[in-house]
Amino acid sequence: MPKEEAEETARYLALLLGLAPHDAVNVSRLLFFAARRFLECVGLEQATLLVFEDVHWAQQSEIELLEYLVQHLRDSPLLLVALTRPELLDDHPSWGGGLAAQTTIPLDPLEAEHAAALAGRILFEAAKRAADVERLVEVAGGNPLFLEELAASVVELGESEELPVTVREAIAARIDAMPANVRTALLSAAVVGRTFWRGVLQSVGGTEEVDEALAVLESRDLVRRDPSSQLAGDAQFTFKHMLIREVAYATVPRATRRERHAAVARSIEETLGDSAETLSSILAYHWGESGEPSRAVPYLLVAADKARRGWAKGAAIDLYSKALELAEKEELRHRIRLQRGFALVELQDWPRAAEELGGLLPELEGAEKLDALIRLGNATVWTENDAATIATAERALPLAQELGDESAIAAALAMESQGLAMRGAEGDLDRALELGDRALEQWVPGARPYDLTNHLHLHANATCWAGHFDRSVDLSRRTRAMARDVHSPESLLRGGGLEALALAGLGRHEEAIAIWDELLEIASELGRSPHVVLNYSSLAYRELFDLDEAQRRSEQALELAGGDALGMPTQFAKSDLLFTRLLAGDVGGAQAVWPSLWEGAEHATGWTTWLIAGRLAAARAEIALNAEPAESAVEWAQRAIEIARRTRRRKYEARSLTILGEPDV
């Protein structure tokens, strides 16, 4: 790997593997990209096969990582093989679709000839004798695992008139026939989990001659020793198949399970001491199953925090929710809900974050309430709720002043600026620009980097709309620099895209297009949707009169923006296509689609209510100038001028004034 990449890649891989408990990253795609670069370099060293087994049991975050790798690994001799049951398609129906280089190989039941060969080999190698192979093949129905278990049961139990009719029955029969000590070891190991450790198994109790019992289980191919261990100095084993562990676990009486879960948790705590939190998810599970939920909650919170700082933010929400179910004290429940709300903000699940934090606010006080208000403001901005954003800022600012929190004062001023810019009423944009500048002047160095990055971008937007292009370029460049510090690809793309847009406003189209092309490559590398960059860049191509390229970019942006919770990108792409039609002389086409766009703008929220509406009013004046009576052109030009002057949109004011100056008008 190139030296300039190695240090950062190693850092992200450590986060991905849970080996950096005190580090954090806000965006999973940076970790995914590190995994991709590492594997590409491995492949360049030598052709490499990567095998992923039992994908149907993978967590959502693991599925996302695998899908990312499959889509983006390139220019390296790598082959990925993913083994899964068909039920994976129930939750992921598009699995494997849309890939340029993929092959799906359905594994049909073994044909009788091959099934007989497999059963015969198992029987001969294990017992050096023949058996009624044809009968085993008939019962197994071509299922290799079932056939293995049936053959093993014949070896261990001898032939019988009745054979088990399911895989689970075959496994259960083998377990029931084991020597008592070996059976106890297997059942205790099942309580530990699919992965278990010799020392932990011994500490659970009930098993004599643990090494001998494990040797028997290995020889019967029920468990396998792993080459490395999560517990230093303790041998680690894994059940050969998840079903073996499930059947063994179901055999353990409930009361015994609880006792053994508690024993497992105590053993891991004693083994790891102060480092027990490294296995927080495992300890949370065992204390929860032991009937002592109060001891599970701290580990659930540690596990949630690790997931939140790493790449599995969706898993963090689930862990916080589980902790909330088990927590009894009201104070602790408040703290868990607060952290879950913050995690939803980081996950950019804005509607749920707004609901969680908004509902919790009446129960909070002081610094906790202030932090909740600041995070709530993030959510209301990105759900385009200008009224809620302004109201939240008006609550946050006096509280920050009362607490003497200078960093929160700046963040609250920024929030109010963003809310006013969204609303766009008379005088709002001027006030937004003033407050936005004040927020930046008062920002405490190094404080609230995420909020600063967010404000730099949104304030750059406002200055660009007002025609202050040089100022917007400066703010956008600061956004890009901060985006790297807070590891935010979204801010990197938005900041860079807006920088290029402001450069185009200054007439520097060549520089702008170069930046947009670079950002499109970055978006592809990181697996991010480029719809925002495409929206920004279509303007330059319209101004250069490359209308085919402008149309292509707007159509692609419209297609990609469908899953964006923010409505403005979709509205922008639609209005961009409208202006492209007008420039191409397709007045009839523009006239046909305009009513639906205007209706959408009238029912929109946030920036769309004035930013898009102003553009549409100007477009309507042009349509009327070419296809309707002069009175209609005057009416719409005057409406467009009113919106443009109120919101400092000089470009559309000039455009509409030009229409009023036409001889026929």
**β-strand 78-82 against 48-52: which pairing, if any?**
parallel
Q: What is the mean pLDDT of each run of 10 residues along the chain (665 residues)?
A: 86 81 69 90 94 87 86 88 87 74 83 85 64 77 83 73 78 90 94 92 85 93 90 89 91 92 90 76 91 91 83 80 92 93 88 94 94 96 94 97 96 97 91 97 94 95 92 95 77 92 94 94 84 92 94 92 70 91 93 91 80 89 90 91 85 86 63
Angle between helices 587-602 and 611-627 (to 10 degrees): 150
End-to-end CA distance of the chain: 67
Distance CA 494, CA 476 (A): 8
Q: 49: part of which helix (H) or strand (E)? A: strand 48-52
Nearest to 533 by CA among 569, 576, 578, 506: 569
- In this predicted structure, what is the pLDDT of residue 511? 95
What is the crossing angle of helices 489-505 and 531-543, to 10°? Answer: 10
User: Given this model, what pLDDT does residue 313 score?
Assistant: 67
**Token representation of residue 664:** 């026929």
Dump the DSSP string for 382-441.
HTT-HHHHHHHHHHHHHHHHHHT-HHHHHHHHHHHHHHHHHH--TTHHHHHHHHHHHHHH
pLDDT of the residue at 211: 93
Alpha-carbon gap, residue 404 to 24, rounded angstroms: 28
What is the pLDDT at residue 397? 97
Q: What's the pLDDT score for residue 376?
A: 97
Q: Alpha-carbon distance 637 to 625, whole Å?
A: 9
Q: What CA dihedral angle connects 639, 640, 645 and 647, to 10 degrees?
A: 110
pTM of the model: 0.76
- The predicted structure's pLDDT at residue 553: 94
Q: So what's the pLDDT on residue 86?
A: 83
Separation CA 457–CA 479 (nearest Å):
6
Q: How many CB atoms lie within 10 A of CB 556?
A: 16
